[in-house]
Amino acid sequence: MIRENGKILIIADDRRFSSGAIKIIEKTTEAGVKLTLEVCPFELGAKNIKASMPDAVILDGDRWNKEKVIEYIRELMPRFFRPLIVCTAVHNSNYGFMNAGAMDVIMKPEQDADLFSTRLCQSLNRLLKKSAQDLHTHMRIQTRRQGNIIAIGGSTGSTQALPVVLEKLTGEDIPPIAAVLHMPEKYTAIYAEQLDKTTRFNVVEARSGLYLKNNMVVIAKGGEHLRIFHDKEGYFVTSEPGVKVSGHCPSVDVLFDSVAYCAKTKAVGVILTGMGSDGASGMLNMHKMGCKTIGQDEASCVVYGMPRAAFENGSVMRQISLDNIAGEIMLELNLINKEGK
């Protein structure tokens, strides 16, 4: 049952899909809950989002082929972030849609319509509640427009590696740092608090609506994907639960992809020690978009998994020992500033 108030926009050209979604929502909305439902075609999606600023958006993920829908989402999300649900009949689509900015991906029913209805209601309840708590109360902190940003990802051993990097970063005006380290849900707040006390940086756990400033480190919250977007105020964070991407939530791939598209040539990506391959695909996108990319070398890794995957797919420009990563970041930032002049 849908228990949260709010405004929902359905972007779909297929009337059967939009009318079916409306029937499910109206049928499952609890008495007394106030919902406003709007429908618009794809060509008017941006216009309607800007005009109504809905609390949640439902998108027909089968309007075009998968790649074209992903590009459509990428065009929407950096301009005006709204929690978005993609409904699709295409299996194994989570990675592309989630990395483009979707908060959830729901499979259209083949036979079990009840399961689709349940998933849609659960997702809407979560996003409508989150919208009321966070998205309408953005913490706005002025920062340099389209400034530099550092994105860091890691897993096994990375909680010990990140403090080494932070300790060795020099200068009084370090660009904001966003980090995804695979940690249990309840540990990330404690970890951020410890780093805040033991380093010179302002270290916080991610929360939606947080605008970034220099000398700030944002740690992804356990169980929520961390994404970075950019508007006229600067870089800001979204932190939302979602399906696992590359086997994880939060996923390094999700963070790296978001930075690749919002920062492009003004970002430095770093992949630290960790098991598996999360982050390799996202770092490849960063590399293609002109970001500077760094990988921890095998000798200094606790587990040479994630850095190896990123190196082998050609996304890592240089592999550096842990003790020298901070220095390499500073060199890359200086190069970015020179290239931008």
* Arithmetic mean of pLDDT, 44-70: 92
Catalytic residue among 253, 257, 278, 297: 278
- Burial grade of 250 (CB within 10 A; 0-12, 13-18, 19 or more): buried
Catalytic residue among 182, 230, 248, 287: 182
More confident call, 169 vs 186 = 169
Does residue 15 register a pLDDT over 70? Answer: yes
Does residue 134 register a pLDDT over 60? Answer: no
pLDDT reported for residue 136: 44
Is 278 tagged catalytic?
A: yes
How many whole angstroms separate alpha carbon 190 and alpha carbon 174? 23
* Residue of 47, 93, 42, 48 lying closest to 72 (CA atoms): 42
What CATH number labels 6-135?
3.40.50.2300
SS3 assignment for the chain = CECCCEEEEEECCCHHHHHHHHHHHHHHECCCCCEEEEEECHHHHHHHHHHHCCCEEEEECCCCCHHHHHHHHHHHCCCCCCCEEEEECCCCCHHHHHHHCCCEEEECCCCCHHHHHHHHHHHHHHHHHHHHHHHCCCECCCCCCCCCEEEEEECCCHHHHHHHHHHHCCCCCCCCEEEEECCCCCCHHHHHHHHHHHCCCEEEECCCCEECCCCEEEECCCCCEEEEEEECCEEEEEEECCCCECCECCCHHHHHHHHHHHHHHHEEEEECCECCCCCHHHHHHHHHCCCEEEEECHHHCCCECHHHHHHHCCCCCEEECHHHHHHHHHHHHHHHHHHHC
Span 220-272, pLDDT tens digits: 999 999 999 887 788 999 898 888 899 999 999 999 999 998 899 999 999 99
Is 155 tagged catalytic?
A: yes
Where do the structural domains in the chain lie, given as residue ranges?
A: 6-135, 149-340
* Arithmetic mean of pLDDT, 58-73: 92
Is 287 tagged catalytic?
A: no
CATH homologous superfamily for the domain 149-340: Methylesterase CheB, C-terminal domain (3.40.50.180)
pLDDT reported for residue 141: 37
Task: Give the CA angle between residues 94, 100, 105 to the nearest 5°.
Answer: 30
pTM for this predicted structure: 0.75
Catalytic residue among 18, 155, 208, 281: 155
Backbone angles phi, psi at 206, to 5 degrees: -65, 145
Span 291-323, pLDDT tens digits: 999 999 999 999 999 999 999 999 998 999 999
% of the chain surpassing 90 pLDDT: 69
pLDDT reported for residue 186: 87
Span 18-38, pLDDT tens digits: 999 999 999 999 999 999 999
The residue type at 341: K
Span 192-234, pLDDT tens digits: 999 999 999 999 999 988 899 999 999 999 999 999 988 778 8
More confident call, 91 vs 229 = 229
How many whole angstroms separate alpha carbon 341 and alpha carbon 338? 5
Task: Work out the angle between the directed axes of helices 158-168 and 322-340 (0-180°, nearest 10).
Answer: 50
